[in-house]
């Protein structure tokens, strides 16, 4: 074998070894291997009471991780800009409460889409775990972080003028939306708990978008004349698309990735999202999730102001379509 041929063969072998090493070291998101330390041993009624109280559980957290998490949250909240006098400002809070990468990816992109649509640059908070490529550099979507984010928004907004836009994505249960960070964090935010926090903070003008099974349970309490509430399902139905390796849930793909990328009002966006979800569910022979849309009578006072600054162009959907999980069914 000539010298050049030997060198070429050696380099090829080295490349194969490096590729194999990279594959072996590919990032693996945390999985859920253990059940919650208390929710699994109580009745649904007891779980609902604990959720209303805002009870959460954290276990086996490294002290250095806890300090780093506090710093991540502090940096994020400190960066939120104050409201502009005479301008209806939107404050976007996009949250993934579960550490499965699908929710982290969805919350990140929802933050981008909603921030662009509602002129919320500098007034957007994203709380999310990994997007599947590496450990998250964002604060996690834990209930206490959500409470702090909402309090920060209330601190810098003009509550008589400005608007909260809250997007949450996770698994759901009949008593609320689930918080589950790997095998470390557990809890739930119930409609009562979210309603109480918003009331304590005095945030009346709000758009609440909930992507989770049974999320229609949030509609009765959170709906009022000043609020928009859109949920992925009715209170007795599951929603779809929450596989960990997906880029979108059905609801997130339909509402955020399609409908809200277009220069149409929220009523039209809700209608389009509901239609798309229905078409996808029919294609997969899935039980209809029945998304819910509630738009308060006084919301035009702030929606019209936001819509006047809405971008006139359409942006293209990103990521793997949620409906792709139906391939091969």
Q: What is the pLDDT of residues 263-299, one digit of tens each?
A: 999 999 999 999 999 999 999 999 999 999 999 999 9
Segment (H or E) for 120:
none
Residues 129-140: pLDDT tens digits? Answer: 998 899 999 999
CB atoms within 10 A of CB 266: 21
Is 8 among the domain residues? no
Span 152-169, average pLDDT: 98
**Domain housing 80:** 43-320
- Compute the residue count for the chain: 329
pLDDT given at position 111: 99
Is 23 among the domain residues? no
Residue of 253 and 41 predicted with greater confidence:
253
pLDDT given at position 4: 59
Residue 24 pLDDT exceeds 50: no
Is 258 among the domain residues? yes
Query: pTM to 2 decimals?
Result: 0.90
Is 160 among the domain residues? yes
Is 159 among the domain residues? yes
Span 143-164, average pLDDT: 98
Nearest Cα to Cα of residue 128 among 177, 170, 70: 170
Q: What is the DSSP letter of 208?
A: E
Is 17 among the domain residues? no
> In what side-by-side order are the strands of the sheet with 172-173?
56-58, 185-189, 176-181, 172-173
pLDDT given at position 25: 62
pLDDT given at position 12: 56
pLDDT given at position 305: 97
Residue 253 · residue 243 · CB < 8 Å: no
What CATH number is given to the structural domain containing 186?
A: 3.40.50.1460
Is 26 among the domain residues? no
Is 22 among the domain residues? no
The count of structural domains within the chain is 1
Distance separating alpha carbons of residues 15 and 54, to the nearest angstrom: 52
């Amino acid at each position: 074998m000539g010298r050049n041929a030997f060198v070429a063969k050696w380099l090829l072998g080295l490349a194969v070894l490096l590729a194999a090493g990279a594959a072996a070291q590919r990032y693996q998101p945390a999985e859920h291997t253990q059940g919650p330390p208390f929710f699994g041993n109580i009745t649904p009624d007891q779980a609902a009471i604990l959720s209303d109280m805002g009870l959460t559980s954290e276990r086996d957290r490294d002290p250095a991780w806890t300090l780093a998490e506090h710093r991540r949250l502090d940096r994020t909240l400190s960066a939120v800009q104050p409201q502009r006098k005479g301008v209806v400002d939107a404050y976007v809070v996009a949250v993934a409460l579960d550490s499965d990468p699908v929710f982290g990816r969805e919350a990140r992109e929802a933050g981008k889409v909603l921030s662009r649509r509602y002129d919320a640059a500098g007034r957007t908070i994203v709380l999310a775990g990994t997007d599947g490529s590496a450990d998250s550099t964002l604060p996690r979507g834990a209930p206490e972080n959500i409470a702090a984010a909402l309090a920060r928004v209330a601190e810098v907004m003009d509550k008589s003028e400005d608007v909260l836009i809250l997007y949450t994505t996770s698994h759901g249960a009949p008593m609320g939306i689930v918080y589950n960070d790997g095998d470390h964090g557990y809890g739930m935010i119930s409609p009562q708990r979210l309603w109480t926090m918003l009331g304590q903070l005095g945030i009346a003008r709000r758009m609440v978008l909930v992507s989770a099974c049974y999320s229609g349970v949030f509609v009765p309490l959170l709906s009022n004349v000043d609020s928009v509430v859109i949920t992925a399902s009715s209170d007795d139905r599951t929603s779809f698309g929450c596989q960990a390796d997906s880029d979108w849930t059905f609801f997130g793909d339909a509402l955020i990735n399609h409908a809200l990328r277009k220069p149409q009002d929220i009523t039209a966006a809700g209608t389009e999202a509901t239609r798309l979800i229905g078409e996808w569910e029919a294609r997969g022979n899935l039980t209809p999730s029945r998304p819910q849309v509630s738009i308060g009578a006084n919301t035009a006072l702030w929606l019209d102001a936001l819509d006047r600054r809405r971008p006139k162009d359409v942006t293209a959907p990103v990521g793997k379509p949620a409906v792709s999980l139906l391939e091969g069914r």
